[in-house]
Amino acid sequence: MIIDCHGHYTTAPKQLEAFRDKQLAGLADPSRRPASVDLGITDDEIRASVEGAQLKLQRERGTDITIFSPRASGMAHHLGDPATAAQWARVCNDLIHRVCKLYPKNFVGVCQLPQVPGVPPSTCIKELERCVNELGFIGCNLNPDPSGGWWKDPPLTDRYWYPIYEKMVELDVPAMIHVSSSCNPNFHATGAHYINADTTAFMQLITADLFKDFPKLKFIIPHGGGAVPYHWGRYRGLAQDMKRPPLAEHLLKNVFFDTCVYHYPGIELLTKVIPIDNILFASEMVGAVRGIDPETGNYFDDTKRYIDQLNALSDQNRTKIFEGNARKVFGRLNAALKQRGLN
């Protein structure tokens, strides 16, 4: 089985954005607030939204199941207030749940959290519990910068974040560290903010002892870990200069990298440098890069091809990347698959 651990619902029917418009318009003029959280999206519209996109690509590329969450840039935690954030997360997560119910053999849900800059993440616990306990979701996306490119909240290692970590450990769900859109004109969202956040989060984790406090907490750093594997010597060296333990011991029981790196040499480096047990297959399709690479004739984000090309990888290690590691990191995945009649 090939499990893609990183997919977003980037193709949701247009009613979702119309709802969001009303919600944000309602901040200025309460009479414009959406009258209902019923988006008026039919099952057929949901089918149409994924049949020609994620499902088609799964079939074409030979992947089986996608761990699926709301559109990352759509989370936009910097907009609104705790009430709109809670409503927006709920609406987005419910839509993911509908996709998973319609295609239980293709999608497993991961939730958006109702984060708000400056508001303690403990306010997200209720939605996380609802998604895991009621909707059967197996993880969450945690935004390390809810201010959207201004980086005003405390680092992920601060006790500010501990209540949500406690709940994650209790529920046995990992978080993908994933920012949303950037409202800082310096940071292009998918070209700078996403990658910077990945790098930033990893460096935060080096400097602290978060996993001493939470030995069972698990993070996936997406987009191949930002700059981290390319600069693995720098990070090993910085950790050593700072008298931190070796990274394998300090972080790699808790931190994992996905394979959203859109060319072969990057994937080759990732698998050379990072232990295989810490790499989870992912493509983020349909996502940041949608075109075909003129150098290969294949989609940039068809990351399975790059892994298939790794001759040095044993079958056992390939299976870990494609399936085994996801089953370990997402503690609820095996049960979710079994419930779907998959093994």
State the binding string over 319-338 for its own copies (x if CB under 8 A, else -): --------------------
Distance CA 203, CA 197 (A): 10
Closest CA to 146 of 158, 134, 156: 156
One symbol per residue from 251 to 280: x for binding its own copies (CB under 8 A), - otherwise; what is it?
A: ----------xxxxxx-xx--xx-------
Q: Is there binding between residue 109 and its own copies (CB under 8 A)?
A: no
Residue tagged 């709109």 (tokens): 84
CA distance 111 to 135: 10
Q: Does 195 bind its own copies (CB under 8 A)?
A: yes
Q: Cis omega before residue 286 (within 30°)?
A: yes
Residue 69 and residue 46: Cα distance in Å, rounded? 14
Question: Do 200 and 249 touch, CB atoms closer than 8 A?
Answer: no
Q: Sketch the per residue contact string, 73 through 102, with its own copies: x for CB under 8 A, - otherwise.
A: ------------------------------
Residue 170 a catalytic site member: no
Task: Please classify residue 150 by burial: count the beta carbons closer than 10 Å to its beta carbon, then call 0-12 exposed, 13-18 middle and 19+ buried.
Answer: middle
List 51, 284, 295, 323, catalytic entry: 284
Main-chain dihedrals φ then ψ at residue 299, nearest 5 degrees: -60, 135
Interacting span for its own copies (CB under 8 A) from 8-16, 185-193, 211-219, 329-337: 185-193
Report d(CA 280, CA 277) in Å as an integer.
8
Q: Which of 293, 313, 319, 334 binds its own copies (CB under 8 A)?
A: 293
- Of residues 97 and 250, the one with the C-beta less far from its own copies: 250
Q: Enter the tokens of residue 130.
A: 């609802």
The minimum distance between CB 146 and its own copies, in angstroms, equals: 12
Q: Identify the residue whose tokens are 């750093």.
A: 221
Query: In angstroms, what is the minimal distance from the CB of 283 to its own copies?
Result: 12
Residue 160 interacts with its own copies (CB under 8 A)? no
**Contacts with its own copies, residue ranges (CB under 8 A):** 144-145, 149-151, 153-155, 184-188, 190-192, 195-196, 199-200, 203-204, 206-207, 223-224, 226-227, 229-238, 240-241, 261-266, 268-269, 272-273, 288-291, 293-295, 300-301
Active-site residue list: 284
